[in-house]
Structure 1
Amino acid sequence: MINPTLPPEKMSIRIINLRTGLSPYLLAGLLTLSPLCAIKATELPVIANSSATISLEQEYQLGRTWARLLRGRAPEYSDPLVVNYLEGLLWQLAANSQLQDHRLDLIVLDNPTLNAFAVPGGVVGINSGLLLGAKDEQELASVIAHELAHLSQRHYAQQLEESRRNTPLILAGILASIVLATADTQAGMAGISSSMAAGQQAGLNFSRRNEQEADRIGMLNLVNSGFDPFAMPRMFSRIQRSSRFLGQKPPEFLLTHPVTESRIADAQNRASQLPPPAYKPQRYDFQLLKKRIEVFYASDQQQLIKSYRESAADDALSSYGLAMALIKSGQYIQAQTTLENLPAKLRQHLYIRLTSAELALASGNVKQAIQQLNGLNDVYPDSYPVSQLYAKALAADNQFKKAASVLTRLSQQQPNNSYIWYELSEIRGQAGDTLGVHEARTEYFLLTGNTTKALRQIEFALREKNLSHSDIARLEERQREAESIRDEIKNAF
């Protein structure tokens, strides 16, 4: 199966906790709701004086710096199927938002807890556990719509302006503390506390207003994207029940911002004032991916297999989960039989066909996998998950140059995908392309905030023999850009 985890180097240090003790906008959780009437985009509130503090371009650059640090310190959930699906959903909602700057950067974190957040400059973070916590795509979309509303209303700029007037709050101190918290939670939280202590209450009150606005506009954009506005109160209710009855530690934002009955009622009242959805549910996409994530995080695969078998007779989705669990446990013949017994219509779904190719690869049937993926690549030439798995199959068949060509095209389409650059560096090495290895590693290290290693890779590349003038010019230009990124990180913190 497609491995959703990154290499050990990226798996260092624990996940960043963005919801405990931080500025509520940076936490960007589902917070207080307020009454809502249907509004038009032209009736949205005007942000007063926010541009006087920080421009859109400054927000963008700050967000890219923050994203590099996050990628380098928190493990990403890099299953291409999941990432591709979430990117599609994000852009569907963004198209109906009030975003002025549509340069978005999605980071999917390898964390089974329910969480999502927005960072200035268009960075949206989603825990893989958000798909586990939501019942359907509409509930998942309600959370993302809320986060996009934070970005479209530039709540960061508003909060910075408020803090400039009322408190000595400095964003660099908070962001540095967030990064520190990934390595030492106590030290990080101490830094956050010292940065925010003087203006904590003023900042909290201001952020509550931001949250109310994000909830209100987020629900509007949810409807404009064709989703059911009632998905938001349903999601709130589900979160509330999970903390009461599932015996799990409640989601982090519930510890400081509990979901109350009145909040759920307000959301339902607000949803009743909006038009009915034009949503046409994708019956399988969300649910199939949810099964993949369930299998990935299951601590007892045999118990999961038993559970899936008990419900598989009446539920095709459980059958898919069973097949995934069987693949992960190495029971390939049974997994093949399970996939073949899925309903004919479901077997034609792209995710099932990719899973069949994953099974062929896992069981050593490389030629069969390549044959399957050749056909899929012809039909879906621009599909990220198809291309990624196709490259993996080609590499397994020692077709390293062709695999590198596939991943090079992917890297051009998704230059901010650190997983692609890491895989490309490995396959270029197997293809004997030493210069290409150094260049791919440079991009990987820049995306993960390790500018020292990135600059070292450029130095190695410049020492290669038989470099053309264009090679040298390209490398020297990238060296200057890497030095600029290094300086941006230093200046931000």
Structure 2
Amino acid sequence: MGALLLASPARGQLPTLGDGSDMSVAAEKKLGEKIARELYRDPDYIEDPVLDEYILGIWTRLLDAARTRGDLTSELDTNFAWQVVLGKDRVINAFALPGGWMGVQLGLVNVTISSDEIAAVLAHELSHVTQRHIARLSAQQSKQLPVLIAAMILGAIAMSKNPEAGNAVLAGGQAAAIQTGLNFSRDMEREADRVGFGVMTQAGYDPQAFVTMFEKLQQASRLSDNGNFPYLRTHPMTTERIAEAQSRQQLAARPAGAGASSMLHTIMVARSRVLSNPGVDGLRAYASEADGPQAAGGDRARQVGTLYTAAFAQAKLRDFPAAQRLVARLGAAAAGDAVAVRQSRLLDAEIAFLAGDMARASSLADIAATTRPEMILGAQARIQGGKPKEAAQRLQTWVALNPRDSLAWQLLGAAYHAQGDTLRAIRAEAEAQVAHLDYQAAIDRFKAAQDVSRKAPGAGDHIEASIIDTRTRQVQSLLREQAVER
């Protein structure tokens, strides 16, 4: 199912559970961070608060279920990142990385009919991490394996988007040397199926989704497999594994209402489709769906999804009057469903922001909200609308509670710059780089802040200067660790 999970025939029987590995939790964490740094630099990386919130909601439920079942130990829970990174590629893929990182391509979201299907994929990938499959592979291979794994994962991700570039990454002797040694065994895949199935059902998701996603991924694999690099074929969707999943779902109780496509999921798929389609022709096609029968009535969830797609596409095409007419129709269709109404309001605010109507965007996006999409959009509108102080006050509180939120730090930096507070602005920019694990870029910004403090003592207070000095030393330590890894 993912770029990390490279399948080949088993060469020996592995233990069903546990790790017994030589790779420590700390080493696995560093390996995951090494790969995550590259994902953040990838042009396909996308920061979208609306989709982030939706995927994180599913991910959090699965983590809670894994804790309840005892699959996620306190050691891994404390030390691993457990963060999701979105990519806008239309490839149907999700991949678990060492250290609790999860990559999800929007192409996967695009083909799902319910949150249950997304949960099925994420639960499987999560189980590869909780069962420490990479660490167990390391115990069987040489001490060089972590470095090779990182290279192979990045090459696999590159190949999914550009076969020629991926082949170039993998053409070296190292790749050939481990072609037969890097792959997860059938036993590991079955273990991830079994544990993942238990996690998703514990979380309250429909067990049937495990089967339907197997079938979709099998079809996607057939369409995309060109025969090159057999060690990059991820998770062969064998008839046997599908049959095993079907047997499990028949024994599991199905939650009431499971499997149905909710308005929320339909809206998320609509948003994902627009964000993952880079072409003007594609956006025009989506916009034209507003004139079709699905937007006129019938299935209400489908109507809402169609109108959302069309309105968002028109906004991306910068036809704001058309987008505003469509979002008004969307609001009427969503009436009575609080979740759908909220998403309609958010889209209305986003369209107003893109159209330059900051007063309307600010009125629709409540910056005081405890939910991230409203807070982020509200801050953006207030910064652009000449009210950076309001934005800075809210963002300060937010980053204190969510220090890994790179986008919030970036906006806080913009809010400070708009107020002429250069010292705090540069420090916020540095913290945004820390959140993306780019410690060298962070050090450069921290040193720039120190220069500002020395050259213009009145530019900031002594407390802020002291915080910058402390953070500089802390991040320099992290940078030295990175140098050791390389």
Q: Output the TM-score relative to the length of structure 2.
A: 0.82
Pairs within 5 Å for 1:270-309? 270-277=248-255, 283-298=262-277, 299=279, 300=281, 301-309=283-291
Cα deviation for residue 458 of structure 1 reads 1.4
Pairs within 5 Å for 1:70-469? 70-97=39-66, 98-100=71-73, 101-102=76-77, 103-164=81-142, 169-176=144-151, 178=153, 185-191=166-172, 194-195=173-174, 197-204=176-183, 207-242=185-220, 255=233, 257-277=235-255, 283-298=262-277, 299=279, 300=281, 301-310=283-292, 311-314=294-297, 315-341=303-329, 342-343=332-333, 344-346=335-337, 349-374=341-366, 377=367, 381-463=369-451, 464=453, 465-466=456-457, 468-469=461-462
| Letter of the structure 2 residue corresponding to residue 195 of structure 1 | Q
Cα deviation for residue 346 of structure 1 reads 4.5
Matched residue SS, 1:96:
helix
Query: 1:159, 1:207 within 8 Å by CA — same for their partners in 2?
Result: no
Is the deviation greater in 319-328 or in 387-396?
319-328
Q: Which position in structure 1 is the counterpart of 2:477?
A: 484
Q: Give distance in 2, aligned partners of 1:303 and 1:30.
A: 38
Pairs within 5 Å for 1:18-29? 19=3, 27-28=4-5
CA offsets per residue over residues 82-137 of structure 1, 9 Å max, x none?
Answer: 01111111010110111122341221122221111112211111112211122211
| Letter of the structure 1 residue corresponding to residue 285 of structure 2 | Q
Cα deviation for residue 254 of structure 1 reads 8.8
Counterparts in 2 of 1:31 and 1:76: CA distance versus 1, 3 Å: farther
| Letter of the structure 1 residue corresponding to residue 5 of structure 2 | A
Cα deviation for residue 171 of structure 1 reads 0.8
5+ residue gaps, structure 1, are 1-16, 20-26, 34-43
Q: Give distance in 2, aligned partners of 1:253 and 1:271.
A: 30
Q: Give distance in 2, aligned partners of 1:18 and 1:276.
A: 27
Query: 1:68, 1:447 within 8 Å by CA — same for their partners in 2?
Result: no
Cα deviation for residue 30 of structure 1 reads 9.3
Matched residue SS, 2:420:
coil
Pairs within 5 Å for 1:42-57? 45-50=16-21, 53-57=22-26
Query: 1:226, 1:278 within 8 Å by CA — same for their partners in 2?
Result: no
Q: Give distance in 1, aligned partners of 2:2 and 2:262.
A: 32
Cα deviation for residue 425 of structure 1 reads 2.4
Cα deviation for residue 81 of structure 1 reads 0.2
Q: Give distance in 2, aligned partners of 1:145 and 1:354.
A: 29
Q: Give distance in 2, aligned partners of 1:250 and 1:312.
A: 38
CA offsets per residue over residues 268-327 of structure 1, 9 Å max, x none?
Answer: 122212232356567122210111121223321222222342121132321222222222
Matched residue SS, 2:95:
strand
Is the deviation greater in 106-115 or in 67-76?
67-76
Equivalent pairs: percent with the same residue?
27
Cα deviation for residue 178 of structure 1 reads 4.8
Q: Give distance in 1, aligned partners of 2:307 and 2:106.
A: 22
Number of positions where the alignment pairs a residue of Structure 1 with one of Structure 2: 446
Cα deviation for residue 212 of structure 1 reads 1.4
Q: Which position in structure 1 is the counterpart of 2:28?
A: 59
The CA RMSD over aligned residues, in Å, is: 3.1
Cα deviation for residue 174 of structure 1 reads 3.2
Q: Give distance in 1, aligned partners of 2:8 and 2:382.
A: 47
Is the deviation greater in 216-225 or in 103-112?
103-112
CA offsets per residue over residues 110-169 of structure 1, 9 Å max, x none?
Answer: 2221111112211111112211122211111100001111111111221111114xxx64
Query: 1:69, 1:449 within 8 Å by CA — same for their partners in 2?
Result: no
Query: 2:148, 2:174 within 8 Å by CA — same for their partners in 1?
Result: yes
The higher relative CO (CA closer than 8 Å, separation ≥ 6) is in 1
Q: Give distance in 2, aligned partners of 1:388 and 1:325.
A: 21
Q: Which position in structure 2 is the counterpart of 1:10?
A: none
Cα deviation for residue 186 of structure 1 reads 4.0
Matched residue SS, 2:141:
helix
Is the deviation greater in 426-435 or in 150-159?
426-435
Matched residue SS, 1:382:
coil
Q: Output the TM-score relative to the length of structure 1.
A: 0.81
Q: Give distance in 2, aligned partners of 1:312 and 1:32.
A: 48
Query: 2:225, 2:233 within 8 Å by CA — same for their partners in 1?
Result: no
